[in-house]
Every structure is written in C-alpha cells, then in structure tokens.
Structure 1
Amino acid sequence: MLTTGVAVDKATLDFDRVFSYIVPDIFASEIRPGSIVLVPFGRGDKLRIGIVLTVEEKENVSKLKSVVDVKNEDSTITPYALSLIKHLKETTFCTWYEAVKTVIPYGALYKIDGQFLSKQLVRHLKTFYSANTEMDKSLLKTQKQKAVYDFLLTGWYDAKQTADATQTTKAVLDNLVRSGAVITKQQDRGTKAYAHIEKCRDEVQLSHQQQKVYNDVLSINDGKTHLLYGVTSSGKSMVFIKLIQHTLAQGGSAMVLVPEISLTPQMIRLLKEYFGDTVSVIHSRLSHTERLLQYNRALNGQSRVVVGTRSAVFTPLNNLQLIIVDEEHEKSFKSETAPRYSAIRVAQYIARQTGAKLLLASATPSIESFYLANNGYYHLHTMPHRYAGMPLPQVEIIDMSVQAMTGDTGHVSKVVLRYLAENIVDGKQSIILINRRGYQTVGVCKECHHSIKCDDCSVNLVKHKKQNKLMCHYCGKTYPVTEICPECGGEISYSGFGTQHIEEYIQQAIPTARILRMDADSTNQADSHEEMLEAFGKKEYDILIGTQMVAKGLDFEDVNMVCVLGIDTMLGHPGYNSNEQAFNLITQVIGRAGRHSRGAKAVIQTYDSYNPVINLAARQDYAAFYNSEIAYRKLNTYPPFCTMVTVAFTHTNEATAAKDSRAFLNIIKKEVENHSIPLVVLGPVPFDVAMVSKNYRWRLSIKCRNNPAFRQFLNKAIEIYLKDKQNKSSIYVNINPLQE
C-alpha cells in the first residue's frame, strides 16, 4: 500500500515527528515529497495541514489513517525549499512547521475549508501614475494640477506618494487621469515602494583596490566563503555591483542580504538603478501578499537579483550563483525566535548546495569570521583605504565626568551642541546615535527607591513622552505615567535618556535646527524608512537622531559630523560579545561622516574615557581590537573556539522552571557518558531578564562543537526530557545566542 510520511502543522515539540498515512488511490499519482496535504490527527481526528516528507510502499497499514486532500500545484514545496526546511529542522531544533512557515510565504500555503484545502491569499495589483509627456501643459487649470503633473514627470508613483509629495488630494489626480494629462499602469504591490526607480546606470569604474578584490573573488572557485574586510567608505558596494553584473552576464542570479530594513532603501535604490525590474525586495515589513508576489517573481524567473533582510535568504532564485552578505557582523542576521537560525549559516548551506559564491563583507568583521579568514577557512580580501582618498573623521572623546566638574551636566555636552550649531551654519548635516528609544529610561521612588517595572517582565518601564505612557520594551505592554510610588506613596523621579529626550533637549538648545528622529517608534508605518532617509538625503533636516538603525550602511554626501551618546550601557552589558558589539557600533557610526568631503569630525561622550574598546574604535583600529578580543575568547573558550548553546526553560512558575532545568542537567550528565561528547555545561541559572510576558526563564549554557554527533546527542536528551511528564516547562534551544 502506498503511504506517506507527513509533518503536521501545530504539533508541539513533544509531538513533532513524521506521521504515516495511507495514500488513497485517487491521490496516488499526485502525491510526492513537498506536497501539501490535509490529514486527520489525534484522537478526535481533527483535520490538520501537513507537508509530505516521504512516499513509500508499506505492507502493514491496518492502523493507519488516510490522507483527506492533496494540493500539488505551483505552491507545492519545491525540492529546494524542502531541503531548506530539513536543514532548519536539523540545525536549529525547531518543529517541522516552524521551519515550513519560515521558508514558505504565508500566501503560498493553504487553509482548511471544510474537507478541503484552499489558498490563503489572492494576487493584488496597485495603480501607479506618471505624467503624459505629450500633454500640452497650458491645459493644466490649477496650481495643484501643475504641481502634481510636474512631480509625476520624475517617474511612477502611487496615489499616496503623489498626494504626500504635492500636498494635494486624490481628487486632483483623478481629474488629471480623466483629462489624459496623467497615465496609469497596474503593478504588483510587492514593488510599490520602488516603482519609480528605473534602470539608469551601466558603467562601473573601480579603483585599484576594488578591482583587485573583484578579480580575486572571481578567480577563486574552491567553494570556500569569501570575507571582504574594507574600512568604512572604501567602496564595497561598487564591488558588489560589478560582481552582480558578471553573474547576470553568465546567466545566473544574485542575492544581497543586508541587516535591518533601515539599510535596505539605499541598497535597493543602487541595485534598481543598475538592474531595474529584475530586482525583488524582501523584508519583514512586507505584507503577506507582497512577500508572496516577490517570492513568486523569483520562483518564476522574473527576478534575478534579490535584496533583503534575514528572511530573504530563503528566496528560490533560479540558477543562484552569487550570495553577498553586507555588514556580516550584524546581530540582526540571527533570529531570536523559532527557528533560531543564522542567515549566514543558511547562506553557507545554500552556497554548498548550489555552488554559488558566498561573499561576506564588513568594515568590522565578526570575530568568528575574521578568525576563520586568518586561519585559512575563508578567503580574506582587504580594502584598507577610503574611496577617493577621503580621510577618516577626526574623533574626539568627551569625558562627561570632567564636563560635570565644570558645571556641564546636560545629557548632550555644550561642546557637542556647539559643534552641531556650527555644522548647521556651514550647511552640513549631523547624525547622533543614542541606542535607547523613548524619553526617560528609569522611574525610581525618591523615598524607598522602588523602581517602576513591568508587571509581566522583570525590566524597568521606559517613559515615552509623546504617547504619555510607560512602555515595556520586552512585551510591549503600556501603563499610565505615574508620579506616585505604588509601594510607599512617595514621589517618582524619572531619569536616563532615550531618543525622544535627546531630540527635545537639542531642539531647545538649537531652536532653528531641523531634527529628524528615527527609531522603532517613529518608523512603524509602511515605507517610513524610505521616506525618512529620502527626506534627510534631500537636506530637509539638519540632524538625524536615532538608534543603531542610523549607524550602519547609510551614505549621505553632507554628513560631516556624528556623535555617539550613551555607549557606556553597552559596555557594561553581560555577555562575552558585548565589547564586540560596542566596538562595531562606534566604528560603524563614525564611518557615516566625511564620506564625500574632508574635515569631518566624530564625538564620543562617555564616563569611561580610558576604556580600551572606546579608544580602539575611535582610532578605527580593528586589528588591535581583534587581537585583544581573540586572546580573551581563547583564554575563556568562547566562540570561535567553541559553539555556545543555550537550552532554555520557561514556565509561569519560577520554581518549576528552575526544577526542570536541573532535571535536564541530570539527563545531560547521564547521556554524555554514553556518547563521549566533549562539552562544558554552565548553570542552570535564571536569564538576566528572568521573566518575560509572565513566563520565568532559566537556562543551561553549553560549550561544545556543533556537529551532527552533538546535535544527535542533544536531540536525544530533549526526547528523554519531553517523555517525563513531571517536566512541565517549555524547552527551546538557541545556537550562539546574541546575548549569553
């Protein structure tokens, strides 16, 4: 009898295995690995969606249930996608369907409709507008019509973009369409934000150091990963463009991964100007429909270049020959929700499977990547000079302790305020990095020193002045601002500072300054990143204040000063990689200044002016920092000298989470004797933030080699844990977590 092995949706970790089902004759010719099926599951035979992993003949099938429906159309999971799903399942300890929903867009899957499967989404189109250049402008009757017409002469835009840019209503646009002054076209929603950017560039002129990297990458074909270490503003992007041009000329396709959506708009514009409509864009803020459209464009061969954030790595490009990971050191390439994958590790798997070249690039390579390059596991390419010979900014470290002794106690020093004002007078722009959003970060009672915390998480609430709310930055819960201590009735004093507070402080000090704030609060609307960066690029603002989304990858001609505030909190953060993250952030934001002109400056405010991390970053001395950091990690056996694995336990009762973590430790101790696996186990201990969303969190930390033998060992330990019904806590595994 023909049977199939199925991974079922909504299966918890303890039930997440491959279940066998009979394939009725009516479906025998349709079913294959990757098919989406509807199957009865559990005691009540409730219908569940599943994916077919195996198809085989079996004899003893009397106890097996039968498949109810099969879908085997264009959205069926391809062998390529199925291999990625299996890879995620094996390497991240997720469930089968957590992997499926990561690799396959929501719209490509199905929903249950009675006894059948039906599509989730339908295809959507959007209208874009442009000026009819054959129109006689004298026929335009009003100033508003003229404004809209002139704006649409510059390209294709949707109705909202047109109305916002010209301060008019859609009625004006509709009248122009009826009169024939404006023409329209229908376009996939998936390309709406960049529909007006047309192919307009071909030639790429490389410098000597750029040409050398380009030639070297193309000449090496041994399958190893390439690492490009180039200082900020050395021109790495143009090397990418030249490599993509070569790839397309060979009939291949290319993928460009960037960290965080804030980096995407400028990279998208560059790629669109060179490669036009062959570019697809994929990031986390796309709607389900938009992501499906981009996914299908790649699957059908319409897209030959994909640019996007972490999830774009799963895009099914035809004949993939080149993968570029820009700012490869960035932590946002690592997912901290299931499946907890690294986009770089997935890209390396894809490169091995497809034969594509993989190029990692950064001005501050991760310690792990640079170690592998220095020891021959990667090919190292360097670009030590800024493009066109531009010097790095002059960096000044301001000791806030010394400033306080002179009476300068503000969150932004008088020196920085003077520099900002002078920069505005000179017609230049400034970027200020403060890696905390909100207004004030701590509320403490003056009498009993009770701090205002989230009821559901063990973290302080942050005051957001504009919303007049206290907000938890872990679970998102909000509270009214209170001035009275709930413990003793004393007065609550709010202190600390975030982006909102710095914006207000500078605006009061420099009333004429045009300030743009860019953080998670101000960029929560669709396309807001693109619009903000475009406005700053047009010099509609003098100062850009933001969290780390303003620190990396941005290139503005008139930015001649950057300032780093509040970096001390990062340096004091627990975790073996906190110094690396602080060094990278400082180095990257300094590199935003003086990319097109001389005389740029950067200022770092700190209470720890002798800190070696700050001073090495100020000197942009990556080599010295790497040598110091790699010695520390070797001494303490941290990555790259091991893999750090967190096994986490969560429960609404703290004692239960603690008990279950100790039970798992005992399982590991017994199993390690049977498997002879070299490892070191630390803990169990509570997480630094012990409670999130009313769930207490305990963890074991394991130093190990992340190879198939270890993963088999850990899977066995998890299986034993889940079989013991006395263990009530949820369990998950995180490989090389961002914070240990």
Structure 2
Amino acid sequence: MIASVVLREAVPAIDRIFDYIVPDEMLSLIQVGQYIHVPFGRSNRSVVALVVNLSEQSVFGDDLKSIIDIMDPIPVLAPDQVTLLEAVRTRYACTYGDVIRLMVPAYVSDKKNPTRNTAVLIDEQKAIEVLNEGDLSSLPQIRVLELLLECKRSPVSEIMSALSVSVSPIHSLRDRGLIEIIRDKSVLTQLVDDSPKEENNESEKDSIDGEEAAHVPAEEQAEAIAQILGIDVDQIDCDVNLKDIWDESNELREANDKYSEFLLYGVTGSGKTEVYLQCAAEILRRGGSVLFLVPEIALTPQMIRWVSARFQEVPAVIHSRLTPKQRFEQWDSIRKGKTRIVIGARSAVFAPMKDLQLIIVDEEHDTSYKSETHPRYHARDVARMRAKLLCAKLVLGSATPAVETYYSAQMGFTKLLRLKDRVNQAHLPKVTIVDMRQELKRGNRSVISEALMAAMREELSHGRQVMLFLNKRGYSSFILCRSCGESIMCPHCSVSMTVHSPKGRRPVLICHYCMRTMKIPELCPQCQSPMQAKMGLGTQQLEEAVAKAFPGEKVLRMDQDTTAVKDAHATLLEAFRKHEASILIGTQMIAKGHDFPDVTVVGIISADMLIRASDFKAGERAFQLITQSSGRAGRGEAAGRVYIQTYQPDDDLIVCAASQNYDAFFKNEIEFRRRMHYPPFLAMGTMVISSENEEQGFSQAKEVKAFVERLVEAHQDNISVDVFGPGPAPIYRVRDRYRFFLNIKAKNKSTLARIFRALSENYSDTGLNIAMDIDPIW
C-alpha cells in the first residue's frame, strides 16, 4: 500500500505530495488524516507528515522509502478536513504546512516533551518601577511584564499565546535582568475523562426535549427554523413543542439533507440566537454536531452561557487566547467525539468535528472573521467550503449583513430569512442624532453632549446601565506642537504615535503598528517648544471624563489595552452583567452581539471617525458599527435611547443607521459598487510589496505588475483582470519597510487565487517580500 503525504513544515520549495510505502505491520493501522514520521531528504531525517491518501500504486514509480512510524492512531484531521486542506491551500495561495498549522495545534507534537521554558519574574519592585517610569521600548514587553506581575511565573509558550506576542519581547526582558527563563516539567492535564461511557441516546434526547419545551418561538422565528431544517412551514403550530412537528417529518427531512445556505437577517434583538438554538437542538437530536462561530473572543462567554443553559452537553471552545495546552485539550476532545457542540472565534472553523451538520456564523458581516496574517483566510468563506463538502446547513446571521451576502440572497443563491421585529414586543430604541456643531455654539466643550449627559443621569438614577462606544483606543490620537505644528511620529513607521495613560503611571507614546513605546518629551523634538498639546479623543480620555462627570458610578473600559491578558474579556463582561459597574466604555468590542437587558442608553461618541476612512468598504463598516452599537439599547423591559454624536448630522449613512434602515443603505451602496465595479460584481485583491530600500521596493512592485500582465496576456482566453498601481500604501512605512500597493480586479476569487499562486511560485526563492490578499480589509 502507498501513503500519499504532505509535510507538516512544508515550505514553497517542498510544497507538494510525496509517496511512501506502508510497511506490512502498519497496513491495519494506517488511516487518512494521521500524523506519521517519514524519512526525508538525502540524509533521511525524520519529519512529521500528514497522510492525505491511500492507494495501491504510486505515480512516482517503485523506488520509494517506507514510513517510519505512526505518531497517533487517531487521525488529526477528519476526512472532510483533508479535502478542505487542499481547497484552502488553493484559494489562499499558501503551503500545505500553512493550512495544517491552522487546523492542528502545535501542542500535538510538543506534548511529549517532558520539559518546557518558563519565564519567572525576578524583582517585583523593580518591574513596577520600570513600568511606572515608562522605560520599556515596546508594548509587547509591557504586556509580558504586566502578566508576570500578576502570576509571577508562566510557561513561555503560554505567554506568547495569551498575549499574541513573539518570543522576542520575553528575551528582551530577560536581557534587561527583569525576568529569567528556566526549564521545568510540563504536565499535560486531561480536559475530559478518556474512559468509555455507556451511550444513552434516549436520555440525551429527553434532556434536550425537556430544556427545549420552555422555549416557544415567535411566528417569524418558527418560519425561519422550519426553512433551515426543511420542515413544511404550514405544519408549525407556534404554541406547541417543536418536537411534535420534527417527529412527523422524517421523510421530508431526509429529502432536504443537502448543502443549503441561509441568511438570517433580523433587526437587533429579534431573536436570532433562539433560532440558532432551536435548529441546534434538532441537529443534536438527529445525532449530528453543531459549530457556532462568533466574531470576537469577547462574545464566546455569552454564547457558552446560552448554549450551556439550553443543553446538558458541555461545549468545546476554540479561540486564539487559549494557551497551547488548553487549545490542545479542547481540540483533542472534539476529534475524539466527546462533544458535539463547538463554540469559537475565527479559528474554530477548522475544528475536527464528527458528523458536522450545522454551521452557524453569527454576525457574519464582521471583519474579525478575516485573518490579518498569512494565510489571510475569511472564516465565512471557509465555513461555506466546509458546509459544501459535508452537505451541511450553513446559517449566516446578522442585523447588518455584508453587502456581498445580502446581494447573494437577492440573487437567490442564499435563502433569505427575515426577522423584522424584536422579541417580547420590545421596540427598537429611540435614536437622536446630536449635532456637535450646535453643542460648541452653546459653549459645551465636553466630549459628551448635553442630551446624552441628561439621559445618562436619568437612567443611572433608576439603576439602569449605559454603554458608550468610541472606536479609538488610547488617551489621545497624537501630540501636536502648537508652535511649529509638527506631531510626534513613530521613527519606524509613517504614523503619529498615540498617547496612552495607564492608571498610576506616566503617560507614554505608543505606535499601534510596530508597538514601539517612548516617553512623552517635555519639549517639541522639532523646535524645542514646550507648547505641546494632546489632540484627539481615545477611550482612556473618555473614561476619565465620564468618571469625573459621574463620580459615584463604577466605570469599566473594554478595548485592546484592557483585554490583553487571558480571560479579561469574560471578566469585564461578567462584571458589567452583574451590575458591578453601571457604565461600559469600549471600542468595537462592545458594539456587537452583546445582550444586556438593563442597558437603556447608548452613546456613539464620534460617528465621524467611522465614515471617513479611505477604502470603498468604509461606509459599510460605519453603517454596521453604528447600527450594531445602537442595537445594544432597550433589549429588556425598559425602552432604549441612542445618541449619535456627529458633526455631519445630514449624512445619508448616519441617517440610515439611525433608523436601522438597511434596505435604504443597501440600495445606495450596491449602486455605487455596480458603477465602480467593486465586489460583489468583481473580485478584489491586493498585493503589498515591502522593502527597506524605497527605490528597490518601488522597482519590485513594478516588476510584479509586469509579471501579472504577462501572465494575463499568456492566458487571455481564461483570465481577464485589471491591475492598478503600484502606489504607496495608506501606511507607507511600517517597521522601517516601505510598502507599495497593487490592486487587482478579476471576474471571481478563483481567478485571483490562480494569479496569486503563480506569483508565489515565481518569487518564492527571490527574497521578495510580498503579501497577497483576496477581499482585503484596508
């Protein structure tokens, strides 16, 4: 027997399938999807490989090497994932190794290592002094030191995972004598009991039915559930248990067990989650498994709570803030079939689930589903690939669907299901657009308008809660010299540095691109003037202003700075849910999906910051964030109020968002994109070429454009594209590298993938630094 394999650490030069002979003693053990060891190269060094196919003959002839051993008898990838591996590699022009690392935790091969590197804090007092004085030169170093002040010691791999940092800041702290790195024993704990359990499907079904009986869907919800599950809508009586209807429709159910895609489009608070849970209950009753995707890690605790309250089965959780060991434990539980419910952010789309029948992508419009690092996949697109491979059902839910998704529904490719009203007869919040120009004329220099301030006082006096949304972290946007007009720029990037003011410490300047930090100089670096001012507004400054205006109220802030450590999202949200604080301030983390019944006032502090970005999707993102933020108000018994503060009160986008009029927004947006030949009418891609030498970078960008044009000319019968550029990227210099953009439009994403694959193969050994992205988010 022949095993066709790909290497786990495949780089472009060896990114292909290799064949190996399966020894006789392994014939009964070998399976597709297993990790094995194979001899590779002239030295026959042992490397890890993944089995992607088994056959009787090899296309490479008879002179083949034999497999060394099987690492784990249980496959690390399910059969559909092996097929998905090739699909993702093809779509995103990456290697097999890139995709394997997305699908299989690194801990799988590391878990047998008896020791590990552990970072230990040496001198707590010295660490506090260094932080207070702002003496560290990078934000990752600050984050690592803050974490070690809390826990005193932690495995290096877990610090890297929890803070999303490389090993470099850890080594820098060691070199400064603030921490030491030692070797200690690594102990793998088991998440669940490995001993076999007796199956009791009847009792399991009874528990699901018993929980489900308490939840009766509204009419619109029942119709959506019926459409998703393939049940005749006329059979549903909204006043009876859905179990009665499902048990009568086995024949119809079997006829509809094929891939189907639905857009569940409902206003904020319309009960989309209830539809998810009802559909999940039936899929579990059929013996299948369910995947819940949420856009933000911050939303996983809420979804876990809802799912755990409905079903007795404990869900598995997958997201990037888990430590390597935690991630392995969750992943291992899933692949062994110990849980049929998985909840997670973007990376959970690759979970090795058995009999996956339903994939739910909540807030499907959210840009957080798009990976910012190579390979730059979109979880919604991967979910669609996987659902098609499995003939599963895909449900995309949103109150503000992505323009491409809604257009697909309009064209009939996606089944549109609408929830037009809020549940429990709740009403959408009353929205007031506040003209901040008039506030200035009245002498109000505060960041909070008089109307919003009055509403906050009134609702807080009744024991209710307030959320304030500002999509800018930090204290101030930048430092401006009032004498020469210069701002303090990052020495390594072409952006101004942002002022951050940690509690109890001196304010510092931070570059949000290279993470460099520096002390705020007393004099302007350009003209030596002391006339420097903090300009712009960030969440830290807003928190300070609110705390001053409401000294008796507890204020929480939720942004990237306050959620850098493990479990910070859940801790902050749970504190707000328990009324330990009455005011929550945050960036887009708080704008979507959260359900706080006692929030009756929402303030959108600076809507203008959202609508004036430089790419064609800026208007869509602004509409979504304003609408989603507004939707957090009035979800309980009390009516909600929303205040949108803007200097452009007549802007069509703000007017549409204030009324939650998605149809009007979509009509304008789709016509604009039709005229400009933007998605969904054509596919869009970006190539970013970067170099430490400015002239060399521009020359390389022109060379790449010429290569694409030659490729198109050679295949003009099959490829039709337009290439624009090269030009400087919006952020021209990052980490001392000059960046040049090439934008490309093509008929579809497959065409872009073919071009990007050709580019990757042509320039893999040239040293050219090029990043390619389909459906980029600028």
> Where on the TM-score scale, by shorter chain, does this alignment land: which range?
0.7 to 0.9
Q: Do structure 1's residue 103 and structure 2's residue 113 form an aligned pair? A: no
Whole-Å separation in 2 of the counterparts to 1:302 and 1:25: 32
Rounded Cα–Cα distance in structure 2 between residues aligned with 1:98 and 1:73: 23
Say which is worse superposed, 76-85 or 404-413, in terms of deviation. Answer: 76-85
| Matches for 1:66-465 after TM superposition, within 5 Å | 70-74=70-74, 76-109=76-109, 188=190, 201-203=211-213, 204-219=215-230, 221=256, 223-465=259-501
Aligned to 2:742: 700
The amino acid of 1:207's aligned partner reads A
Q: Does 1:554 align with 2:552?
A: no
Cα deviation for residue 644 of structure 1 reads: 0.7
1:660-675 → structure 2 map (5 Å cutoff): 660-675=700-715
- In structure 2, the residue matched to 1:496 is 536
User: Match for 1:685: what amino acid?
Assistant: G
2:192–2:333 contact (8 Å) kept in structure 1: no
Is this contact kept in 2: 1:565–1:604, CA < 8 A? yes
Residue 168 of structure 2: aligned partner: none
CA contact (8 A) 2:725 2:742 kept: yes
Tell me if structure 2 keeps the 8 A contact 1:648–1:731: yes
* Aligned equivalents of 1:594, 1:237: Cα separation in 2: 17
**Does the CA contact (< 8 Å) of 2:22 and 2:67 recur in 1?**
yes
Aligned residue identity for 2:95: T
Which residue number corresponds to residue 18 of structure 1?
16
Higher mean C-alpha deviation, range 66-75 or range 362-371: 66-75
Q: CA RMSD in A?
A: 2.8
What does residue 469 of structure 1 align with? Answer: 508
* Aligned partners of 1:22 and 1:61 also within 8 Å: no
Contact 1:438-1:464 at 8 Å conserved across structures: yes
CA 1:201/1:52 → structure 2, altered by over 3 Å: closer, same or farther? closer
Candidates 480, 484, 493, aligned match of 2:519:
480
In structure 1, the residue matched to 2:728 is 686
Of 704-713 and 257-266, deviating more is: 704-713
Q: Does 1:545 align with 2:585?
A: yes
Tell me, in whole angstroms, the C-alpha distance in 2 between the residues paired with 1:619 and 1:632. 21
User: What runs of 5+ residues in structure 1 fail to find an aligned partner?
Assistant: 112-117, 123-159, 161-185, 192-197
C-alpha distance in 1 between matches for 2:220 and 2:644: 31
Partner Cα separation in structure 2 for residue 348 and residue 59 of structure 1? 34
Change (3 A) 1:418 1:254: same
Give the superposition deviation at 1:61: 7.0
Alpha-carbon distance, 1:414 to partner: 3.0
Please list the CA deviations of residues 259-284 of structure 1 after superposition, one character each: whole Å capped at 9, or x if unmatched: 10111111110101111333111111
* In 1, Cα distance between equivalents of 2:535 and 2:95: 43
1:729 matches 2:768: yes
> Are 2:10 and 2:96, in contact at CA under 8 Å, matched by a contact in 1?
no
Q: Displacement, 1:297? A: 1.6
Which residue of structure 1 lines up, in the alignment, with residue 573 of structure 2? 533
The answer for the alignment partner of 1:659 in structure 2 is: 699
Letter in 2 for 1:36: Y
Letter in 2 for 1:704: A
Greater shift after overlay, 296-305 or 710-719?
710-719
> How many residue pairs end up in the alignment?
660
2:58 paired residue number:
57
1:300-330 per-residue CA deviation (whole Å, 9 max, x = no partner) reads 2211111111111111221111111111111
The structural deviation recorded for 1:108 is 2.1
Matched residue type, 2:277: I
1:402, distance to aligned residue in structure 2 (A): 1.7
Q: Kindly provide the CA deviation profile for residues 711-734 of structure 1, in whole angstroms up to 9, marking residues without a partner as x.
A: 3344234433446x4xx4212221
- For residues 476 and 547 of structure 1, what CA distance do their matches in structure 2 show? 19
Q: What is the Cα deviation at residue 333 of structure 1? A: 0.8
Query: Does the residue aligned with 1:557 lie in a helix, a strand or coil?
Result: coil
5 Å-filtered alignment, 1:545-694, equals 545-676=585-716, 677-694=719-736
The 8 Å contact of residues 671 and 717 in structure 1, kept in 2 or not, is answered as no
Mapped partners of 2:684, 2:543: distance in 1: 39
User: What is the CA–CA distance in structure 2 between the aligned matches of 1:414 and 1:575, rounded to whole Å?
Assistant: 33
Q: TM-score, normalised by structure 2?
A: 0.80
Structure 2 residue corresponding to 1:720, chosen from 752, 762, 770? 762
Q: Distance in 1 between matches of 2:728 and 2:24?
A: 54
TM-score by length of 1: 0.84
* Paired amino acid for 1:402: Q
Partner Cα separation in structure 2 for residue 732 and residue 72 of structure 1: 35
Letter in 1 for 2:223: K
* SS of residue paired to 2:371: coil
Instruction: Give 1:457 deviation, angstroms.
Output: 2.1
CA, structure 1 residues 480+50, in 2 after alignment: closer, same or farther (shift >3 Å)? farther
How far the C-alpha of 1:445 sits from its partner, in A, is 2.0
**1:351 Cα deviation after fit:** 0.8
SS in 2 for 1:57: coil
CA distance in 2, matches of 1:703, 1:121: 50
- Contact 1:417/1:506, CA 8 A, preserved across alignment: no
Structure 2, gaps ≥5 residues long: 117-149, 151-187, 194-206, 232-255
Could you tell me how far apart the structure 1 residues matched to 2:606 and 2:42 are? 57
Distance 1:631 1:255, change over 3 A: same
Q: Is the 8 A contact 2:473 2:540 kept in 1?
A: yes
* Displacement of 1:20: 4.1
Distance in 1 separating the partners of 2:590 and 2:508: 25
What is the DSSP-based 3-state SS (H/G/I as helix, E as strand, rest coil) of the residue aligned with 1:484?
coil
CA distance in 1, matches of 2:114, 2:480: 49
Say if 1:354 and 1:610 are closer, same or farther in 2 by CA, change over 3 A.
same
- Seen in structure 2, the aligned counterparts of structure 1 residues 480 and 357 have a Cα distance that, compared at 3 Å, is same
Map Cα deviations across residues 347-384 of structure 1 (whole Å, 9 max, x no partner).
11111111111110111111000000011010000010
Equivalent residues of 1:399, 1:605 under 8 A apart: yes
8 Å Cα contact 2:685-2:744 kept in structure 1: yes
Judged with a 3 Å threshold, the aligned counterparts in structure 2 of structure 1 residues 120 and 583 are, in CA distance, closer, same or farther, namely: farther
Equivalents in 1 of 2:576, 2:543: separation in Å?
16
Name whichever of 575-584 and 52-61 sits farther off.
52-61
Q: CA 1:59 to 1:458, structure 2 compared with 1: closer, same or farther past 3 Å?
A: closer
Amino acid at match of 1:469: V
Helix, strand or coil at the partner of 2:483: coil
Aligned in 2, Cα 1:576/1:502: closer, same or farther, shift over 3 Å? same
* CA displacement at 1:38 relative to structure 2: 4.6
8 Å CA contact retained: 1:336, 1:737: no
- Going from structure 1 to structure 2, the CA distance change for 1:25 and 1:75 (only over 3 Å counts) comes to closer
Q: CA, structure 1 residues 187+554, in 2 after alignment: closer, same or farther (shift >3 Å)?
A: farther
